[in-house]
Structure 1
Amino acid sequence: MWKVVIVDDDEKVLRGMKKIIPWQELDCEWIGEARDGEEGFALIKQLNPDIVISDIYMPVKNGIEMIKQLRENHYDGKIVILSGYSEFEHARQAVRLRIDDYLTKPASIDTIRSVFSAIVEQLEEDQMNSVQVAELREKVKLYEPLIEKEWLKSLITGTVDHNHIPPAVKSMISKWDDQDHVILTIVYDQQLEQSKLYQSDWYLFRFAAGNIIRETTERYEESYQYVELHSHQAVICLHFDKDKQEEIKNKLYQLAGALEASLKIYLSVDVTVNVGGIKSDWFEIAQSLREASSKNNHHSLGDSDELLLQTTEGKRTIWSESMEANQKLSEAIRYADETSARQIIDEYFSKVDQQSYQSALAMQIGIELWTIMTYSLYDIGIRIDDMFDESLDIYQEINTIQSWDALSNLIKEKIVTICHHQQWDENLKHRQLVEQMIDFVQNRLNENITLQDLADELYISRNYLGQIFKKIVGESFKNYLTRIRMEKAKKMIQEGNYLIYEVSEKVGYVNPAYFTTTFKKYTGYTPTELIHRKLTNT
């Protein structure tokens, strides 16, 4: 409830205001009174009310002086002047002190209700704005790491828009203009799937591998980023002072060997670490990746002063070496974007088709594509095995292919199956999942329910769960939850058995003011106005 303090030296006015103000209807409560400006200042400073009603002419310190002192001490609450008609000009002069409204003595109940309603509405709007700003700040904090990660991946793979740099990454790149840069690629052996940790828990494997790579890298260079490109490849982007290029060459030798040895010792997996060319401009980081992804460049230095780790463009045919296409395909699969995924495959194979068909190369490309799609789905909680018949043998299907066109068509067939399977329309399992979500909401409506709570309860990723719910129900989980809460609140208010703050708690809102604001946004009127309508109609 909104807290109110009244400052007036007239005992009759104090008693009258206490009696005639419809406190419950306005969702307000009287928390204190004072009889002069000095006493009022001390009380307001102690209790910090939302609303102050003050007379002007009082002993010891008048209302204007008290208000001036409050504003100087950063009191931001609402202030209503209570004055006689003869003092009106004096009251008008107080505008510079941010007086929110005034009441002339004597004030009718309708006038008091009108002024208070306007003040409460301002408070609710201010609080909503404050909550929205706070939520926005939290979202920014939450998404900053994700924005940084995705922007960095785009920079490394060559898909970034250099004309648009998100504010979240500006602190990261602030030193880059004075540094040189180089990419190291970490490519897992094709036998990776045989690792026991990999087989038992893919997420745990990623966590363990990431920690080993970071700890190893930090022994050689502090300024770096570690980025996973897909299931079989990750990169390290190193930054170092421009006058340390000779020194860094030796470190790159050592770091590459140390990474291979550490992953072999601790995780029993074989990796190949390749090094790209050193770049003086961070805009060219993607070029360093392309050089590191070229074949026959296993952490070796050329004869010149810079790293010469590139081969001819014609040899770069393996899918994993096409980082831009890799990232685009992964995103298309995660969003079930069939059109984009098919287009990416067509564009890639239009280049591959320029060379003669090789069965071994086709097998490698096909398996890499299948792996990318598998783990793109796995990251959002979907098992690709659940989308295909148990008899599917992707290796055998690729092995029977005799041309690049046939391989392209096979991959696109799998993409169609994946994307259409994600439409969920006839998927009983998803409908049962949504029914569980609705039951959860109905049983715990008085709790602070979030989609993450449901995801934890049902052992499924939050994003995937949100997609399922919206597809089946036709609205987002957030909108559904608000609608159910507001409809129940409306019913409870109309029944008249609960106070507004009790209704707020019973539908999951700890803060009654935020509940009131949400209620008005949903229904078009406040809970108090709904009560008044009910009383008027009876």
Structure 2
Amino acid sequence: METVLIADDEVNIREGLKIIIDWNELGFEICGEAANGEEALSAILEKNPSLVLLDIRMPKMYGTDLIRIARERGYKGRFIILSGYSDFTYAQTAIRYGVDFYITKPIDEDELSQAITKIKQGLEKEHAASENIELLKNKAKDVILHEIVTGTYNTAEAALLSPRKMEEMNLYADIYQVVIYEKFSENPEDISYSFADLLKITNKGNHTFEYFEEDGNEVILLKGQFALDKFSGFLERYEKNPPQKGSPLDTLFLAYGRPVRSLDEIYLSYEEAYTLQKRRFFCMQGQHTLGYDALPKVQDITLEINNDKLEEYSNLLTDYLIAFQRNKVAETLFSLEEFLYNVKNDIASVKLFLTDLYLRIKEKANHIFCSAEIPFPTNSQIIDRIESCHYLYEIILFISEQTEMIMNATGNPSRDTVLDDILYYIDHNFRSNIKLEGIAPLFGYSSAYLGKIFNKTMGESFNSYVDHRRIDYSKELLKENRLKVYEIAGQVGYNNVDYFHKKFKKYTGMSPAEYRKNGFTPPLKNLPETD
């Protein structure tokens, strides 16, 4: 809404001007009135109205003098002169000082309305032009700011970096530091803190910091020692008193580069902050800041994830799960986390690695514990859960919770000895290439010691017990008459069919084919193991 000041020494005319024109409809509101020239000048300079309706002859100061003085003091608004005189000299003087319309009394309502309408249209064009100019200036500053911070300006643009130019754009300071502010909450109800809110400072006139958005994050350029001190104080408070889990402050991350003294070094601080921001996913639980002092460790990272590592960790975790070795599962997950902290792969690759790892564990567990009802999430739920995690430790925690769920779903509460766990492991793994040397470490024993304990407790060797389980299962398969003998050999853990024949005959007194043909089960020979 534009404003209008009415200045006339006759009160009836002032009141009449308020009434005969529908000011609101024309886009104006009356901001004041004056009865003489001095009052009018004072009101103009104080209220800066968009339009002044001014009687040319008023006490204490003529209208022409008033206009001249107002213009000299910077007033740029519009004037409509109202006068009972049609003296051309007054008109010439008024036009010279930028008066838009000269209307003689008695005032014609239509003529005045038309004049006000034209002035309103002119003001709208001026405002639009001014906004466009300001937009272009701001856009130019944003471009320059981005190029300075990221170091992408070229030699031809070096003149833009002169101290005078930077002072004009509020970019010049004695010290700078770049901070990247990432807010990753998916909850729309979370408070969106501004950087000024975090530091509890004002940024009037952009004197303390500038910022622009890049890749959904705010890139902050701190300017001057005051701003850097405020930021340092915030870091100290934030690290001493970390935010509560689930609070809005728990969903932000700050990466910052080193302080620099010159404009042409700002990009160094930015590159450090950018490198650190990409490591946010690998931060420890409760860590929300990462500074340039951590760069040497980040830059020394050389490890990479690969299929061999995937197979190694999936086998280890599955074996420990089957053996119900919670401590070993925890140690392996800790080792996995340490390994992934030191890989140079991007976040998407790490998440894919962990997704594949969990899906492999799920597949193996379903195969081994085929009769158990394990409440696994669906594959799509697993993928979505891992993809939604903002930190590595969140995924490791999820996998840890899932391993506990698997052990609870498949474990036997009555098994309270290590040997019970070993027998359980054998009963669910005899179809694989199981060896004493391979499972002994799962239970924290050497193979020689475990072999002695097993033989003493069970009255037979480890290999003999495994053979018994395999032969018992092979007899069930032979009775079903679905598979060929060589297929059954593979199903029960013998890769060589001749070796299977030898073992079967040793424990049953007949060949697999004879057993299938005769259809009876003589007692197993409990012969000592000779392999």
| TM-score bin (small chain) | 0.3 to 0.5
State the TM-score, normalizing by the size of structure 1.
0.34
Larger relative helix fraction:
1
Q: Higher relative contact order by CA 8 Å / sep ≥ 6: 1 or 2? A: 1
Tell me which structure has the larger Cα radius of gyration: 2
